[in-house]
């Protein structure tokens, strides 16, 4: 298995632009998570899905952020409009049913820089 695949690896954009981050979970995994990592705030859970349905989006910082999972093999995290304070590394992770016995598998992350 290729693991959790995220794209792009790096993204530099100007303030006000729309940014879309993509994630392909491990095949057969029922859970998908989006985390954001910054020096100041550490790892923050933004949203997670179970069987493509958003379960908890309480960590999404504001309305500029949205996430979708149109099918079991693809998810997006969109920021519109982007701001410099959104600069961070965004990780996607997935886990199978019965995830508690295994934890998550993380993708390589997308490093977002908003200038």
Partner 1 sequence: ELKVEQNPLFLSMQEGKNYTIYCNYSTTSDRLYWYRQDPGKSLESLFVLLSNGAVKQEGRLMASLDTKARLSTLHITAAVHDLSATYFCAVDISGNTGKLIFGQGTTLQVKP
List of residues contacting partner 1 (CB under 8 A): 31, 33, 35, 42-43, 45, 48, 50, 55-56, 91, 93, 95, 99-109
Residue closer to partner 1 by CB (options 15, 55) is: 55
DSSP per residue, 53-105: EEEE-TT--STTEEEEEEETTEEEEEESS--GGG-EEEEEEEE-TTGGGT--E
**CB of 16 or CB of 28, closer to partner 1:** 28
Please report how close the Cβ of residue 43 comes to partner 1 at its closest, in angstroms. 4
Least Å distance, CB 22 to partner 1, is: 16
Pairing between strand 65-71 and 74-79?
antiparallel
Which C-beta is closer to partner 1: that of 4 or that of 114? 4
Query: Are 30 and 42 in contact, with CB atoms under 8 Å apart?
Result: no
Q: How far is the CB of 41 from partner 1 (least distance, A)?
A: 9
Q: Nearer to partner 1 by C-beta: 20 or 108?
A: 108
Closest contact distance (angstroms) between CB of 16 and partner 1 is 28
Percent helix, strand and coil across the chain, each to the nearest 5: 5, 55, 40
Tokens coding 93: 């992770």
């Amino acid at each position: 298995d290729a693991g959790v695949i995220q794209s792009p690896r790096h993204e530099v954009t100007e303030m006000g632009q729309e940014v879309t981050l993509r994630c392909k979970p491990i095949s057969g995994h029922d859970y998908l998570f989006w985390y954001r990592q910054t020096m100041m705030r550490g790892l923050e859970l933004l949203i997670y899905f179970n069987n493509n349905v958003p379960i908890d989006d309480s960590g999404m910082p504001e309305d500029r952020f949205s996430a979708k999972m149109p099918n079991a093999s693809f998810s997006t995290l969109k920021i519109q409009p982007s701001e410099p304070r959104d600069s961070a590394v965004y990780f996607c992770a997935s886990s199978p049913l019965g995830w508690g016995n295994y934890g998550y598998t993380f993708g390589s992350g997308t490093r977002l820089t908003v200038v």
